[in-house]
Structure 1
Amino acid sequence: MAASTRRDIEANIQRVSEYTRAMDLEREPIPGGAKFMAIEGLIATGLSQNIDHAKRLVDRSIETQVGTGELSYGDRNFYTSPCALATSVLEFYDRTGDERYLDAAERQVQYVLDAPRVGNGGISHNKDTPQLWVDSLYLMHPPIAQLGSALGEEELYDEAAEQILAHAEYLQDDATGLFRHIWTETPNDYPEGSFWGRGNGWAAAGILEVLEAIPNHHDRRDELLEIFHDHLETIVELQDECGYWWNVIDDDSTFLETSVTTIYAYVLRRGIDIGVVPGAYETATKRAFDAIGASINDDGVVTGATYVTTHDPNEQLTSEDVFSPSGYAQGWYLKTATYYLENDHLVAE
């Protein structure tokens, strides 16, 4: 297995950065996913042009924060989607100490804390009917824990952990550890019950980031680790020999998808480094990271990633409007490639 060269990775990061900065992210229809992830990827690179551009996007998200507290004009369909931007807002609070960033993050997080809940306390993702979505594990739970760190409020650590457990109660499959996409309270069923690839990646990344934010002595930490380990055990088994994962994780009749592969390349590598993922998964990280390098085209587009999913990701999405370029894939590549480069993982001179 050939390691990626430092020169190749740096060139990819430069091309992907340039393309991402040129994207019209203000018009992203899903600010809590695509726009947020593009911002996070730009920040992760540490490049001055990228940081400046990310700051403009974050400042604009605060300027367009609505009266309810929702960032970036809010979302008319979902409670949790804009909440992810609170993570980026807190990044600039850490960098600048400017209280307006902290205030904006507090207002956004408080909005989701006040949102309707299902019977076990899980915050509804959907505004029309009480539902739990796998998306929330990444879009909503980490910002709650991260705000807890910024404010020194342990009850926010508790809330983030409880939300993961509440969502896992209905979304995580007992037999496989995989996560279903959507559960609805009334009627008690799964309007979209497949093991959607990027959704599972979001679950893994969200749990990882909450584990990093909460104290090691937190009384729900072991439960979170059990959910995390059960999930990753199956994920590693389902990786295709080429290094990718499928759009529906357990269905090789669907297409190989870049964004989910990039997420797991990051989650597994970062998890090993901080001691929450078994070192035995090293081979899976190598296969994934080597595979995604070939997805970058000459324009800096991370190819082979879906922009949106239908409510049934088992459908073969083949029309051009659902594929790259996508803020999801651009951001996750920048975050993952920078992490591997900075930590000398799979990097050849």
Structure 2
Amino acid sequence: MLRSEKLEKVKKATLAMQRWPWEQGVVAQAFFEAGDIEMATLMAREAVTNQCKDGRLGMKYERGAATDPAANGEVVLRAAEITGEEIFKTAVQKMLNYLLYRAPKSKDGIIYHNENEGKIWVDSFYMAPPFLAVAGYPKEAVKQIEGYRKYLWNNEKMLYAHQWDDNLGLFSRELHWGVGNGWAAAGIVRVLIALPEKMQTEKSNLIEYLKEIIDGCLAHQCENGLFHDIVDDPSTFIDSNLAQMLSYSIYRSVKNGWLNTEYIEYADKMREAACLRVDQNGLIQGSCGVPDFNAPATAPEIQAFYILMEAAYDDYYMS
């Protein structure tokens, strides 16, 4: 398939998928960055339609998520700016109020991934901090990233663990999950994009964190350009999505001057490998996917990062 034809198939396949709160948000972000503002706004409207009274967006299929719903926040905020509609403005404030004042947190103020669980997940890097940053709370966004790093970063491995149980004071899943490390990298990139210029110290710290996680993952890259599901465990299956997430992160970072251009060859190799996993229906195969995210499958988040990767690729090479 031609590149444009493949991308359109991926988009159509994505729109056909049922979506959880974070998936609705990530897919909406993908269409927004790809330039389809109309579709992104429609998705934002659906996230608002399924907003809980407490402010959590896109909560059609679950009630326990704390940080996941915030993945919808940025696109809802953009919809408010574009349309001027009060429904979007109110929804943004309600989502923001939930994160700031109602979400379950550790003693040091770090938002737990789910309610009634007391656990910090690496996924949350991507879900809450970027929205906090664009919604006018960049210091809180950085605080959350620093907190997630404090609990989950393995300095020896240069990788993030998946889950910390704050109630028990130990890891509930210490494995270095590939997609989880992708969430961390891409989440840091999105916060960096949103931070004001005056926060140069914070930017420098985040850039260093970003470089560390990318280097930590690249140390375990397979010959084909992809990574194992558990990055440092070659007995686990080879996943597609971490490559997409890191490609996206590298293209955006080099474009903004946060990483050296030498990283582009890695991004290109990962992108080419991921593109080979798109089937005739536009589904990216072989990634850590639904329903349980522990085996090779498909998922809206995987589709979304293909679209995000391609948007970042275009922005780097063609603008």
Question: Do the two structures share a fold, i.e. TM-score over 0.5?
Answer: yes
User: Of residues 115, 128, 146 in structure 2, which corresponds to 1:165?
Assistant: 146
In the other structure, the counterpart of 2:111 is 123
How many residues are aligned here?
A: 315
Identity, % of aligned pairs?
Answer: 26
User: Of residues 175, 186, 211 in structure 2, which corresponds to 1:205?
Assistant: 186
Deviation at 1:342, TM superposition (A): 4.4
Deviation string for 1:89-118 (max 9, x for gaps)? 122123223343232112112102222221
Report SS of the residue matched to 2:120.
strand
Deviation at 1:167, TM superposition (A): 0.9
Task: List alignment gaps of at least 5 residues for structure 2.
Answer: none
Q: Is the 8 A contact 1:145 1:214 kept in 2?
A: yes
Q: Following the alignment from structure 1 to structure 2, what is the Cα–Cα distance between the partners of residues 303 and 278?
A: 31
Question: 1:20 aligned to 2:14?
Answer: yes
One-letter identity of the residue aligned with 1:91: R
Deviation at 1:204, TM superposition (A): 0.4
Q: Is the 8 A contact 1:21 1:53 kept in 2?
A: no
In the other structure, the counterpart of 1:93 is 80
One-letter identity of the residue aligned with 1:192: R
Task: List alignment gaps of at least 5 residues for structure 1.
Answer: 1-6, 149-155
Deviation string for 1:281-303 (max 9, x for gaps)? 22211110111111111111111
In the other structure, the counterpart of 1:152 is none
Deviation at 1:80, TM superposition (A): 1.0
Q: Is the 8 A contact 1:87 1:143 kept in 2?
A: yes
- RMSD value over aligned CA atoms? 2.0
TM-score (norm 1): 0.84
Moved more, 98-107 or 254-263: 98-107
One-letter identity of the residue aligned with 1:121: G
Question: 1:142 aligned to 2:124?
Answer: no
Report SS of the residue matched to 1:191.
strand
User: Of residues 61, 66, 71 in structure 2, which corresponds to 1:84?
Assistant: 71
In the other structure, the counterpart of 2:3 is 9
Q: Following the alignment from structure 1 to structure 2, what is the Cα–Cα distance between the partners of residues 233 and 60?
A: 38
Q: Following the alignment from structure 1 to structure 2, what is the Cα–Cα distance between the partners of residues 178 and 91?
A: 33
User: Of residues 307, 313, 316 in structure 2, which corresponds to 1:340?
Assistant: 313
Q: Following the alignment from structure 2 to structure 1, what is the Cα–Cα distance between the partners of residues 231 and 242?
A: 9
TM-score (norm 2): 0.92
Moved more, 55-64 or 76-85: 55-64
Higher relative contact order (CA 8 A, sep 6+): 1
